Amino acid sequence: MQCISYCLGRFTATGSLDYESYTGGVYQVKASSGPLQVATEKVTIKVTDTRDPPRFSRSKYIFQINEDIAPGTTVTKTNSDGSSGGLVINDADTPKTQFDCTIENIQSLDVVNQFKVELDSSNNIGECKLVTQSSFDHFDTPKFTFEVRATDVNYRNMYASAEVEIEIVDKNNHDPTFSQTDYWTSVSSNFPVRNSILKITATDKDAGSFGEITYQLLDFEDRNR
């Protein structure tokens, strides 16, 4: 670039400026109009911090819990490196203790009756922890889906949202039930051997192999018939 008497130089950012990773620096700038015509000057750049919204460690969390889990149990999991696999909040602007955790986008009142969410700032991390409030039944509700939100208590327009899916794992905890309390039939004396005499039906609310039913005759007089 050549200038007769005046020349303007420009500093241009080649990437995004994040105060948490770059606060600025001091640079030496050289201007020359020939091999011996050189001037240098110091330029200081300072990045001003602006408040960023918090983020969860993931956009979606999937948990599995047994249907017989006790009320008051925290729903979480642990990563392979030992860190929490729960709803961890990332925010360099706000202390870990200054968040509200809430359940949003509720599709069913069962969600608020069976789960609550609370902030846990122990171990130097901020985390929205889900806690069970009542028992579950896989047959009634095999899965819950809702949103958890972490909101900066001092800047309510700054919040993070994440989708949560909780699968209720079936346990073999239901007895089979007959369709009738009593069955009765009559047959003639010349009724064909191995023909069906009576149909009985039982059902079980448990899923998969837990719901498979076998039948057995008990307490009858002539076992040869």
Task: Assign 3-class secondary structure to 80-143.
Answer: CCCCECCEEEECCCCCCCCEEEEEECCCCHHHHHHEEEEEECHHHCEEEEEEECCCCCCCCCCE
DSSP letters for 21-77:
T--EEEEEEEEESSSS-EEEEEEEEEPPP-PPPPEES-SEEEEEEETTPPTT-EE--
| Contact of 133 with 71, CB cutoff 8 Å | yes
Percent of the chain with pLDDT over 70: 81
Buried b (16+ CB within 10 A) or exposed e, 53-73: bbebbeeebebebebeeeeee
pLDDT tops 80 at residue 46: no
Provide the 10 A C-beta neighbour count for residue 162: 19
**Contact between residue 120 and residue 76 where contact means Cβ atoms under 8 Å apart:** no
d(CA 17, CA 23): 8
89-123 tens-digit pLDDT: 998 878 888 999 999 988 776 888 899 999 998 87
Beta-bridge mates of residue 28: 42
Over the stretch 161-216, which tens digit does the pLDDT of each residue have? 999 999 999 876 667 888 888 888 888 878 888 888 888 888 777 766 677 777 77
Which of 9, 49, 48, 54 lies closest to 32 in space, CA to CA? 9
Query: Encoding tokens for residue 182?
Result: 């009593």
As given in the structure block, the two tokens for residue 139 are: 């047959």
pTM: 0.62
Element at 168 (helix H, strand E): strand 159-169
- Residue 126's pLDDT band, with cuts at 50, 70 and 90, is very high
**Over pLDDT 90: what percentage of the chain?**
35
